[in-house]
Structures are given as structure tokens and as C-alpha cells.
Structure 1
Amino acid sequence: MRKISAPSFLTGLKRGVMHRCPNCGEGRLYSRYLKVDLDCEVCGHDLAHYPADDGPAYFTILIIGHLFVAPLLFFPFIWQAPVALVVPLTVIPLGALTLVLLPRVKGAVIGALWAHKLRKAEDAPGG
């Protein structure tokens, strides 16, 4: 396993958003949509032991709600148009945006955990 010096918090975030191994920035982070690879194929870093859990979903909801849903409520068509028109015109794009944003936020969370050297409790020394 190649040992790489720990870069900054922002480097971890950037590598995670780009779906790259936070340790080397070259290997892929995911094997499927949100399934984190067990090990980086480039540097061998153990990727599966970062406790991302519910954090990425929470942050994604927070981002979508504050940056898209809240401003959307200021547009009159939301309140004046028929519900049968408003629901598909808002829910479908917001759902798609959420699905696009979620793996990027999860990567950023994993990058942040890596930068702070936080791992699952069973991986901690003596745990």
C-alpha cells in the first residue's frame, strides 16, 4: 500500500466530489451508484470504513431544500397553477437533482472524514 501524505480538508472534499479516492485522488470511490469500493485500485487505501451513514442524505436534503425548494416558493406559478401541473414540474426535476447531487455529497463527506482521519468505531485502535 502506497503511503500518501494527508492533504488539506478542501483537497479531501474536492476528491470526494469528483468520485475519486480521497487518499490518492486517482482511484475511483464508487463501484456502483452509492456503493463505496472496498479498496482503492491505485493506492490500496481502505475506503469502506468511513462512517458516512445518514450524513450525505441529510446534507443533500438541506442543500436541495434551501437552494431550490425555498426560492421556488417565491414564484407565483407554484401557488396559482393547478396542482396536477405544479407537482410533476417540480417534483421530477427536484428528484433528479437530488439523485445527481447525492453521490457528490457522499463523496465530499467521505473526503472530509478522511481528512480528519475519522473511521468507524470497530476500526479504531482498541475497538
Structure 2
Amino acid sequence: MPEKEDVSAIDRPLWPAVRQGLLNQCPACGAAPLFQRFLRTGSRCAGCGQSWEHHQADDFPAYIVILLLGHILVPLMIEVNFAFAIPMPVQAVLWPGIALVLAIAMIQPVKGAVIAFQWSRRMNGFAIPKD
């Protein structure tokens, strides 16, 4: 009978896991997608069987996206307004549109990175199982 693998000995390096999460891949194996739908994780990884039901990303990915958008858009708006004379009605459509597109593009990779961070640090339901 094969020996049961000691899960406490399995190393979970942070940066490779976060990179996998950013790329919508399972942080544990990298072989299967992390998300079943746009922001919904599957219950288990199809490649390695890792359970994703215990993650608690909650609102943290949205906070990160808002922080990043502010740091991207505010300097961009200042530079564009300094360099060009764009009419205010155009800007009233332009900047919210850019913010919306960037937010939609960033939310899934950021949520994947947060879940991968939780997994690599053994937070919440990703802790070592007790027999």
C-alpha cells in the first residue's frame, strides 16, 4: 500500500503560486484553470484535486483593483490634461470608460492572486489537515 504523503512537508512557495493565480491557473499544480466562470472558482482543481471551496477572497480583490486604478488613472489624467485640451464632455465619457475596462480586465487576475496567496500561506481552509 502506498505511503500517505506528508502534506506538512509540501512546500508552497509564494511567488510561483501568485504568478499561477494571476494567469488563472491552479496555484497548486498549474495544470488546470482556477476559475470555472469569470469570478467563480471551481469547487476542485481538475488537475490535482485541490479544493477551492474554502478561499475567502471576499472584497479584497476589489480593494486592490480600486487602489491600482487610482494609481494608474490619476497620473494619466493629469498628464493628458496637461498635454491636450480635451473638452470636458469627452473626458466625462473617456475616463469612466477607461476605468471600467481596466477594472474588468484586472479583477480576475487579482482575485486569482489573492486566492493563490491564501493557498500558499495556508490561510483559512488551506491549512494542513488534522487527522
Query: What interval of TM-score do these two structures reach, taking the shorter chain for normalisation?
Result: 0.7 to 0.9
Partner of residue 50 from structure 1, selected from 48, 51, 55: 55
**Greater gyration radius:** 2
Question: Which position in structure 1 is the counterpart of 2:72?
Answer: 67
* Higher mean C-alpha displacement, 77-86 vs 110-119: 77-86
Corresponding residue pairs, total: 124
The answer to whether 1:106 aligns with 2:101 is no
Question: Which position in structure 1 is the counterpart of 2:88?
Answer: 83
Between the aligned partners of 1:6 and 1:84, the Cα distance in structure 2 is: 54
Percent pairwise identity: 28
Contact 1:38 1:47 (C-alpha < 8 Å) held by counterparts: yes
CA 1:78–1:86 in 2, change beyond 3 Å: closer, same or farther?
A: farther
Shift of 1:125: 7.2
Unaligned regions of 5+ residues in structure 1, if any? none
Partner of residue 37 from structure 2, selected from 32, 35, 58: 32
Unaligned regions of 5+ residues in structure 2, if any? none
TM-score, with length taken from structure 1: 0.83
Contact 1:52 1:110 (C-alpha < 8 Å) held by counterparts: yes
| 1:1-40 matched pairs, under 5 angstroms | 5-40=10-45
TM-score, with length taken from structure 2: 0.81
CA 1:78–1:47 in 2, change beyond 3 Å: closer, same or farther?
A: farther
Question: Which position in structure 2 is the counterpart of 1:41?
Answer: 46
Q: Which amino acid aligns with 1:15?
A: Q
